[in-house]
Structure 1
């Protein structure tokens, strides 16, 4: 039985590479807002790069419903290029705004090939909703110390998404803040499995063990240097 369970979990991780109790919503992560351009965003003109066109095609091939968004410069270093609005990826993810296509593509793969199989295998229930803390917001990096001072967050480029919890068909809500160190070993393992799965798809994956600013959510982005923590 143990060998069968190990094999099943290994398959979940391989695919990702190609409770109860208090139900209150956790507070969103802290932000360091940057003032956008007072006159409003500037729409940028130009041809869509080939890699962005390919990304759009990949989403369409995966039967993802989405709307391409215009490229915009919001000022203060917050520029959104090659972004989409995700409409339907098969599992509802609330709180999403503009998100750059490669990050959207990674999110779709993570939900379909990491989160959903892990929930069925470990928790015996399907995921019916994922609660996010959003994607685009013009702000600086939070919790990065002096090295991050004055730098625009990947959220300011619509290149990141924060995930707070997972709602299951049986009514449970698995919260990263509350359940990362849950007394239920299957819940703990589920969160660690989906965290490792994200590391295989996003450039940066941060969780509760990274720092206090990420105690209640996973942060995923497609910028900077590879980091899985």
Structure 2
């Protein structure tokens, strides 16, 4: 039987396990986060009600996609209920697996937030979105060594980084140059699509958050709400 002294000593560890899912899925050890050297393990197919509902919403919105198997990559990196977006109406470069709720919010943001803003503010249709990727087995970037050992939402295929927007008139509007552009219309475009993202995603990080996000918008469906 545990004595009160032993229980008191163990309590912080027990609480940490509850808060961070036992430590494996949100926080790693002092070692760098890295995928399993032998490759991912495909998990048994268990379609959840959430997955069915999300895929039905994508189909209703005429978004073309391919469902992906659940996979455990090791190091806490886990991709479940994911899809590969094929066609959301505008080409998007650099995206791979995305958890379905993120994919649904992303498609809606591009269609109903970014595209109308490009037409109305910049006077030209949106023809391409450039991303810096979705899934990556890694820790959080740009917040010190301790944060780098905390699992990023990218390691769960629950985040996407967007760097630029290409218009039909040939202009390429980057987050790096557009956020503080000398062109007031470009600044307005950036501000409006940032606010639009904050209404859809759980976390939105941009150039005003920290130096690591100076050239892209980080959009995820993890903890939040947080918009910066």
Deviations 1:87-144 (A, max 9, x none): 0000001000000000000001100110000011100000100000010011110012
Aligned residue in 2 for 1:54: 53
Aligned residue in 2 for 1:120: 119
Larger RCO, structure (CA 8 Å, separation 6 or more): 1
Q: How many residues align?
A: 197
Distance in 2 of aligned mates of 1:100 and 1:139: 16
Aligned residue in 1 for 2:192: 193
Q: Do structure 1's residue 132 and structure 2's residue 134 form an aligned pair?
A: no
- Secondary structure, counterpart of 1:74 in structure 2: strand
Computed over aligned residues only, the root mean square deviation of the Cα atoms, in angstroms, reads: 1.1
Aligned residue in 1 for 2:94: 95
1:35 is displaced (CA, Å) by 2.3
1:207 is displaced (CA, Å) by 0.4
- Secondary structure, counterpart of 2:74 in structure 1: coil
Distance in 1 of aligned mates of 2:139 and 2:56: 32
Q: Please give the residue correspondences for 1:117-196 in structure 2 after superposition, counting only pairs within 5 Å.
A: 117-145=116-144, 148-196=147-195
Deviations 1:125-169 (A, max 9, x none): 001000000100111100123552411100000000000000000
Aligned residue in 2 for 1:4: none
- Secondary structure, counterpart of 2:165 in structure 1: strand
Distance in 2 of aligned mates of 1:111 and 1:208: 19
CA contact (8 A) 2:33 2:149 kept: no
- Secondary structure, counterpart of 2:109 in structure 1: helix
Distance in 2 of aligned mates of 1:205 and 1:134: 15
- Higher radius of gyration, 1 or 2: 2
Q: Please give the residue correspondences for 1:186-225 in structure 2 after superposition, counting only pairs within 5 Å.
A: 186-225=185-224
TM-score w.r.t. the length of structure 2 is 0.84
CA contact (8 A) 2:94 2:130 kept: yes
Moved more, 139-148 or 93-102: 139-148
Aligned residue in 1 for 2:70: 71
Distance in 1 of aligned mates of 2:107 and 2:37: 34
Question: Which runs of 5 or more structure 1 residues have no equivalent in the other structure?
Answer: 1-32
* Structure 1 residues 95 and 149, CA gap change in structure 2 (3 angstroms): closer
1:34 is displaced (CA, Å) by 3.4
